[in-house]
Structure formats: C-alpha cells, structure tokens
C-alpha cells in the first residue's frame, strides 16, 4: 500500500529572548539558536510552488508573557520573533491573555500566521472570537490537513482577563464535531488528516487523545480507527516538559520509557507530543500515512511515526537576522526603562537593613497591589472577595536603595522586582499561616530575606521572645469605609476575625511567590498547600505592578479629560466616574472658605490615604479590558513591526493608533506626568513588633 511521509516541527511555551543559562551550567543559549535550527530543518524540505515547504511548523501556545521584557512591552517584542519563526498555525495559550484580550488582538493582528481557538465561543456572535479561527486547512505532500486548536477548561479560571462573553465548549465534543465537518466527503474541506494543537495538562491530553482515537499504529491493530471520527495526533503545550507518548515507533534523544508525573494513563496507545519550553526544545518528527479503504471516515491513518528531540546547545549557530532584530528591540526596551510610572510623594526605601527587619512602607505598598492580582480569576472560581491576603518576603524586593521623592521609573520597578518566578495563590489553614509567620520571623535580627511582607492581615509579634514563639496574634483586616461614596473615600482598616492556630479549620486564600510555596528559604510550612492559581498560570510581580500603574494612569487621563467616549468594557464608565467623583470631592475642599488649610487636607486625602480594595481592583482590571497604548511608555506598534521593511506597515501605524486610543501628546512630557498616580506609601501597623512599637506607628486618619 502506497504511503506518504509528512515532516512536522513543533514547539510550545516560549518566553525569554535574552540568553539563558542551562541548568547546572554557566553556558547560555538563546532564541536565535532555536530559530537557526528550525530554519535549517525546514529548508531541507522540498519547496512548494507557493513558496512554502512540504512540511508543517506548528506552535501550541504561550509566547507573549511572562518575562521581564513582556513587563515592558506587554508582549509586543515577541511578534517579530514569532514572525521570523513563521509557524504555519498557532494556538493561543493561557499566558497569551495576560494583558487582556483587546491587546492580544493587536498582537495577533501583527503576526503573519493564523491563530486557533476552536472550543471557545463568543456568545455575542455564536462563533469563535474575533481574530482567531476555528480551524485551518493546509495541503502538504498532496495531503489535505485540518488543524484545530483545543484548550482545557481548568486554566480558564486562572485568567483574570478572561472575557465574560467567551464560553468554553467541551474539547472532545468540539474535536468530534470538527472531525465530521472537516472529513465530510461531500463537504468543502475533505481533509485526509486532522491534527489537534492543545494547551492542556498531560492527563487531559491523554484523556482527550483516547476520546478522539488518536491511536498509535500498534494500537490500531487492535482497534481499527478508519471509520472512527476524531483526530490523528495531539501536539500539546502548557506543561513545561518534554513528553512523547511511548507508543511511537522511535524517538531519538528521548527515553520512551520515561513516565513523568501525570502520564500514568499513557499505555502506549495514543499519540501525544509535548515539546518542552522556552526555546530549549524542538520536536522534529515524520508521520507516515497510508490510505484506508474507499468510503472510510478517515482517508488516511498514521502507520508509522518517528522523531527526534532537539535540545538547543551553546555551540549551535545563531540566526543573524533575528539577532539584529532583537538588538533593536532590546534597545527600545532599554529606552523605555527611563519612563516614569508614578510620582512618589515620599522616599521609597527598599534598603535591606530596613525591609528585612521591620515593617516598611515600601513593602506594604507592593503587597497591597499584589493582593488583587487574581481577584477576577478567583471570582470565577467562586471566591467572591478575592484573595484574603498576601504573604511574600523581603528578599523578593531588591535594589537595596532608596527611590524618590519624585518619579518612580519603569527601570526602577524592574530593579526592585527582578524575579521571574510567578505569583501563585495557595489555600492554607490558620496553623499553616501561623507556622509560616514564625518561620519568617525566626531569624530576626539577622537581615534574612525571609522577613515577612504582608497584606490583608494584621500581625502582632514580639522580637524579644525566642524564635518559634514570637507571633502573638493574627487578625484578618477589613475595610470600614462607612461614610465613603462609591468606594472612593479613604478606607479605615480594622481588625476582623482572629486567625486561629488550628489545623484544618478556616481556610485562607493567600497570594505568594512560587519560590516560597515550594518551601525554599525556610518556608517549609507552605509545602503541600493546595494551589488555586499555580505557577504555570501565574504572572510575574513586575508585570502586575506595571499593569496597576498603567491602569491608574489611563483612568486619571480620562477622568481629567471629562469627556464622553466609548469603551470596550461596560465597567470602564463606572471606574472613570468614580475617579471623577474623587477629584470633585478634593476640589470642593480646596475651594472652601479655608482654602489653604483645606487644600493641604485635600492633598493629604490624595497621597496619605490607604487605597481601597476597589481602587486596586479597578486599575488592575481595566488594563485587561481596554487598550492602554495612549498611556503606554513603550511603543508596541513600532516594536511589532521590527524586522520588516521600513516601507511596510507605515499605514498600519495610523490604524493601530486609532484602534488603541491614539498616540497623543500624553505620551510625552507634562501631559504624561500629570496623569501619573501620586503615591505615598505608609507604615500602618500591620506587622507590629510589640518590642518596638515606635516602628509601627499607625498614621492618623
């Protein structure tokens, strides 16, 4: 029986473009070496009349975030990288939504290949969302191939920016329906082969493969799939591991007997391939296809599959074209680091000698922001009020210096928050919280990085007591905003219920750092805590702070303009109106009969206040729902065109500005600075050392 050989390249989950050290080595690799390898392999394939090659290049999601660079560019720097790699088809992953779907649409528009999201429906249109496709039809080696993209339901609940109108459809049901549509002999597409790109965990990929009969050649001997609808193979992402189901015929540089955690259902019966992470891994493989009897549902089936796991090595050549493009991109990133993000009314002190030994205003400010990182996502999971608190450590804050008074720049934020491990949400009981606090305070007065940084709780402790016995009490903090109007007034934080040191009692949702959740640096009590938002769904700290300050600037700009305009999200009008109301209230104080005194009081209300929960939620939420380019210090549109001819896209710049809100005078000079958030971090007594009460003086309201 005649056969056809179809070569395929696949990768997934890539983030960093700068050189990265290999584990256990000082040697580095980078994405330019990955690009060169991909090009070298692709160029060996026969060329088609349309200029394409007789093979498939496929990507399974997660590229625009997270990384330190994406904290600056909001993913725009990855567009020219992906355009150079030139996949035939890509699937969206969870982190591609990190900066909101409106911004993701701009990123997708500027890529030169299609994006899939087959099992998500925009309920306002009853179709897949705008800018993505339900499937893609390709022809290679005379074979008609349908490529579909399926995601798991689990990670949707971790995305704070997930659009309310996007509805999940069961992946197996959609895969089956699309198989019927794409393979229909009397239909428009008449596909010989259907490939599913997925962004899901290994167990879900294996289950899906079994449901859709993506069977290995050996398994087909016991179960003829010629007349079974489904897919022929699954190429997955999301797990940052390299995995090939052990039923393939041969795989170079990979132990097919290796069974990573989650692959217990791999019985050698299904074809599932997951291709590592971060430009370190590339899958090259060939599927051999043979015809089925006339009239079969599947015109061809896979009769043999062999492949190779490529690992990028330091000695590999680089793609000079991509390196040149990256040099320009990273230079523009460097220039953006000088841009101001907010105005500090007081000095922001992150010197180790302070933040590692006592409650400090700077630590409080960062913790207050981070507490609301995942409020929208937690709400979708049924956690109505968001996270109960934050528990990070002073070692997470670097810089060992002071900033301001004056403008805090983007570079300052990245210097203070350099770490790339993500924020996660864990569920802990009262005993775990107490034990973690004791561990965190146990090394005082040594300037250890484990010293606690908290939000949402008040802790009373005594440095005079022996380690392990220093915590005197822990209380949930609540906002008493009585007398406030629409949540815009200064809240008063009061003690709520005490946190009892009881195992298995009331549970608390805590935002923390993945590094801490794994038990590093003395945080063993957190080991084994249930993860509500895990590391592969989490965002990095600098990105969250950047989004919050960007959202605040956007709101301030529109509140001051006092003009009516349409917004993408219905909640935006309410956010802007709350900000205008706050401004009007402050202006009333400044125009009263005691003008000077009340002006000072108004200034105090603006800068010295504790920000309300609604304030933080509003400004983080809005960056996920609206275009931010009018206040973004980084020119994303220009970055997305990097590597193209100067002539191309000159008209696109104007369109981009119109759709994203316009590149106006607000990006430069006084207009930008006028709309920046004014910040005055304070010590409020949330981490009070009873032996040194003067260090936790609560600011009078």
What is the DSSP track for 436-475?
A: HHHHHHTTTTS--TTSEEEESEEEEE-TTSPTTS-EEEEE
Tell me, what DSSP letter sits at residue 688? E
Cα 450 to the chain's mean position, in Å? Answer: 25
Long-range contacts, stretch 467-472, CB < 8 angstroms, 24+ apart: 467/438, 467/441, 467/442, 467/443, 468/438, 468/442, 469/438, 470/438, 470/441, 470/442, 470/444, 471/434, 471/437, 471/438, 471/441, 472/690
Q: Do the beta carbons of residue 392 and residue 367 sit within 8 Å? A: yes
How distant, in Å, are the alpha carbons of 60, 109, 132, 138, 247 from that of 114?
A: 12, 9, 7, 12, 31
- Check pLDDT > 60 for residue 535: yes
- Check pLDDT > 70 for residue 603: no
Task: Give me the mean pLDDT over the 69-82 stretch.
Answer: 98
Going by pLDDT thresholds of 50, 70 and 90, the confidence category of residue 654 is very low
Instruction: Give the pLDDT score at 272.
Output: 99
- Check pLDDT > 70 for residue 413: yes
Report H helices in 525-646. Answer: 541-561, 571-590, 595-607, 613-625, 636-640
- Check pLDDT > 60 for residue 632: yes
Going by pLDDT thresholds of 50, 70 and 90, the confidence category of residue 611 is confident
Find, among 215, 210, 175, the residue nearest to 194 by Cα: 175
Would you call 647 helix, strand, or coil by DSSP? Answer: coil
Q: Do the beta carbons of residue 654 and residue 587 sit within 8 Å? A: no
Kindly state the tokens that stand for 202.
Answer: 């290994």
- Which residues are CB-neighbours of 402 under 8 A, at least 6 positions away? 347, 348, 349, 350, 351
Distance CA 416, CA 206 (A): 42
Distance CA 504, CA 383 (A): 18
Report H helices in 212-357. Answer: 217-220, 320-336, 352-355
Task: Give me the mean pLDDT over the 209-233 stretch.
Answer: 98
Locate tokens 């549970």: which residue?
507
State the chain's mean pLDDT as an integer: 91
Task: Give me the mean pLDDT over the 238-267 stretch.
Answer: 95
CB neighbourhood size of 517 (10 A): 25
Locate tokens 């409650």: which residue?
359
Would you call 603 helix, strand, or coil by DSSP? Answer: helix
Instruction: Give the pLDDT score at 587.
Output: 66
Instruction: Give the pLDDT score at 197.
Output: 99
280-321: pLDDT as tens digits? 999 999 999 999 999 999 999 999 999 999 999 999 999 999
Task: Give me the mean pLDDT over the 402-414 stretch.
Answer: 97
Instruction: Give the pLDDT score at 481.
Output: 59
Q: Do the beta carbons of residue 303 and residue 296 sit within 8 Å? A: no
85-135: pLDDT as tens digits? 999 999 999 999 999 999 999 999 999 999 999 999 999 999 999 999 999
Instruction: Give the pLDDT score at 697.
Output: 59
Going by pLDDT thresholds of 50, 70 and 90, the confidence category of residue 2 is confident
Distance CA 327, CA 546 (A): 23
Instruction: Give the pLDDT score at 482.
Output: 58
Instruction: Give the pLDDT score at 635.
Output: 96
Q: Do the beta carbons of residue 378 and residue 537 sit within 8 Å? A: no
Going by pLDDT thresholds of 50, 70 and 90, the confidence category of residue 590 is low
Q: Do the beta carbons of residue 292 and residue 299 sit within 8 Å? A: yes
Find, among 277, 282, 258, 253, the residue nearest to 268 by Cα: 258
Going by pLDDT thresholds of 50, 70 and 90, the confidence category of residue 259 is confident
- Check pLDDT > 80 for residue 592: no
Instruction: Give the pLDDT score at 115.
Output: 99
Instruction: Give the pLDDT score at 602.
Output: 43
Q: Do the beta carbons of residue 145 and residue 153 sit within 8 Å? A: no
Would you say the C-alpha torsion 562, 563, 566, 568 has a positive or negative sign? negative
| Percent over 90 (pLDDT), the chain | 82
In the chain, count H helices and then E strands: 21, 31
Task: Give me the mean pLDDT over the 620-643 stretch.
Answer: 94
Instruction: Give the pLDDT score at 695.
Output: 78
Would you call 345 helix, strand, or coil by DSSP? Answer: coil
**141: alpha, beta or left, given left = phi > 0 and alpha = psi -120 to 50?**
left
Strands 89-91 and 115-116: parallel
Distance CA 452, CA 297 (A): 61
Going by pLDDT thresholds of 50, 70 and 90, the confidence category of residue 699 is very low
Instruction: Give the pLDDT score at 651.
Output: 38
- Check pLDDT > 80 for residue 489: no
Task: Give me the mean pLDDT over the 43-51 stretch.
Answer: 95
Q: How many CA atoms lie within 13 A of 249 on its CB side?
A: 11
| Percent over 70 (pLDDT), the chain | 90
Distance CA 391, CA 436 (A): 9
Cα 119 to the chain's mean position, in Å? Answer: 20
> Degrees (nearest 5) of the Cα angle 14, 20, 21?
130
- Prediction pTM value: 0.90
How distant, in Å, are the alpha carbons of 108, 478, 503, 519 from that of 436?
A: 43, 22, 13, 10
Report H helices in 243-397. Answer: 320-336, 352-355, 361-370, 375-380
Locate tokens 């200034």: which residue?
603
355-394: pLDDT as tens digits? 999 999 999 999 999 999 999 999 989 898 899 999 999 9
Would you call 57 helix, strand, or coil by DSSP? Answer: strand
489 vs 145: which has the higher pLDDT: 145
Instruction: Give the pLDDT score at 199.
Output: 99
Q: Which residues pair with 291 in a beta bridge?
A: 300
Kindly state the tokens that stand for 225.
Answer: 């799939």
Distance CA 464, CA 472 (A): 12
- Check pLDDT > 90 for residue 274: yes
Distance CA 423, CA 158 (A): 12
Going by pLDDT thresholds of 50, 70 and 90, the confidence category of residue 645 is low
Instruction: Give the pLDDT score at 23.
Output: 84
Instruction: Give the pLDDT score at 593.
Output: 45
Distance CA 261, CA 326 (A): 36
Distance CA 6, CA 235 (A): 15
Q: Do the beta carbons of residue 273 and residue 243 sit within 8 Å? A: yes
Distance CA 699, CA 685 (A): 9
- For the chain, which domains are there? 3-324 (3.60.21.10), 336-540+681-696 (3.90.780.10), 547-639+651-677 (no CATH)
- Check pLDDT > 50 for residue 700: no
């Amino acid at each position: 029986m005649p056969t056809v050989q179809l070569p395929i390249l696949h990768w997934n989950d890539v983030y960093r473009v700068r050189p990265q050290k290999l584990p256990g080595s000082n040697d580095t690799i980078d994405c330019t070496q990955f690009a060169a390898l991909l090009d070298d392999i692709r160029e060996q394939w026969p060329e088609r009349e349309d200029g394409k090659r007789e093979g498939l290049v496929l990507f399974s999601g997660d590229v625009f975030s997270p990384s330190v660079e994406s904290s600056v560019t909001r993913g725009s720097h990855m567009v020219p990288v992906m355009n150079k790699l030139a996949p035939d088809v890509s699937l969206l992953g969870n982190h591609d939504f990190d900066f909101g779907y409106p911004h993701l649409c701009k990123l997708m528009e500027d890529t030169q290949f299609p994006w899939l999201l087959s099992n998500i429906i925009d309920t306002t249109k009853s179709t897949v969302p705008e800018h993505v496709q339900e499937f893609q039809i390709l022809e290679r080696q005379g074979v008609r191939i349908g490529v579909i993209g399926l995601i798991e339901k689990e990670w949707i609940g971790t995305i704070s920016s997930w659009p309310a109108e996007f509805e999940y459809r069961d992946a197996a049901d959609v895969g089956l329906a699309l198989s019927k549509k794409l393979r229909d002999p009397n239909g428009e597409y008449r596909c010989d082969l259907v490939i599913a790109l997925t962004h899901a965990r290994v167990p879900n990929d294996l289950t899906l493969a079994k449901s859709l009969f993506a069977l290995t050649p050996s398994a087909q001997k016991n179960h003829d799939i010629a007349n079974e609808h489904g897919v022929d193979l699954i190429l997955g992402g999301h797990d940052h591991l390299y995995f090939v189901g052990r039923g393939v015929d041969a795989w170079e540089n990979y132990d097919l007997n290796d069974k990573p955690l989650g692959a217990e259902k791999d019985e050698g019966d299904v074809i599932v391939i997951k291709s590592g992470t971060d430009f370190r891994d590339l899958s090259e493989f060939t599927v051999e296809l043979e015809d089925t009897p006339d009239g079969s549902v599947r015109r061809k089936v896979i009769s043999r599959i062999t492949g190779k796991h490529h690992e990028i090595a330091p000695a590999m050549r680089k793609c000079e074209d991509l390196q040149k493009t990256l040099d320009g991109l990273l230079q523009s990133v460097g220039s953006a680091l000088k841009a101001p993000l907010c105005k500090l009314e007081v000095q922001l002190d992150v010197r180790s000698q302070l933040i590692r030994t006592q409650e400090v205003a700077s630590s409080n400010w960062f913790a207050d922001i981070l507490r609301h990182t995942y409020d929208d996502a937690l709400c979708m999971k049924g956690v109505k009020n968001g996270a109960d608190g934050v528990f990070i450590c002073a070692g997470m804050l670097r810089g060992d210096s002071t900033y301001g008074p004056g403008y805090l720049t983007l570079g300052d934020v990245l210097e203070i928050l350099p770490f790339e491990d993500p924020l996660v949400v864990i569920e802990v009981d009262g005993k775990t919280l107490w034990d973690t606090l004791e561990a965190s305070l146990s090394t005082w007065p040594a300037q250890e990085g484990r010293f606690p940084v908290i939000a949402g709780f008040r802790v009373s402790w005594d440095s005079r007591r022996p380690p392990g016995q220093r915590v005197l009490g822990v209380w949930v903090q609540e906002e008493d905003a009585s007398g406030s109007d629409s949540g815009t007034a200064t809240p008063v934080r009061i003690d709520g219920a005490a946190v009892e040191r009881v195992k298995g009692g009331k549970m608390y949702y805590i935002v923390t750092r993945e590094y801490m959740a794994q038990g590093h640096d003395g945080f063993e009590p957190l080991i084994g805590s249930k993860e509500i938002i895990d590391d592969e769904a989490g965002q990095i700290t600098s990105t969250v702070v950047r989004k919050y300050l960007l959202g605040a600037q956007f709101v301030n700009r529109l509140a001051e303009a006092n003009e009516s305009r349409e917004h993408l999200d219905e909640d935006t009008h309410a956010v802007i109106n709350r900000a205008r109301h706050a401004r009007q209230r402050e202006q009333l104080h400044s125009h009263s009969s005691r003008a000077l005194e009340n002006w000072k009081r108004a200034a105090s209300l603006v800068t010295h206040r504790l920000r309300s929960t609604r304030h933080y939620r509003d400004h983080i939420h809005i960056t996920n729902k609206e275009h931010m380019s009018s206040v973004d210090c980084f020119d994303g549109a220009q970055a997305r065109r990097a590597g193209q001819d100067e002539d191309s896209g000159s008209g696109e710049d104007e369109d981009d500005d119109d759709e994203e809100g316009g590149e106006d005078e607000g990006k430069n000079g006084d207009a930008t600075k006028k709309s920046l958030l004014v910040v005055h971090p304070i010590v409020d007594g949330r981490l009070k050392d009873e032996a040194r009460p003067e260090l936790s003086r609560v600011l009078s309201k």
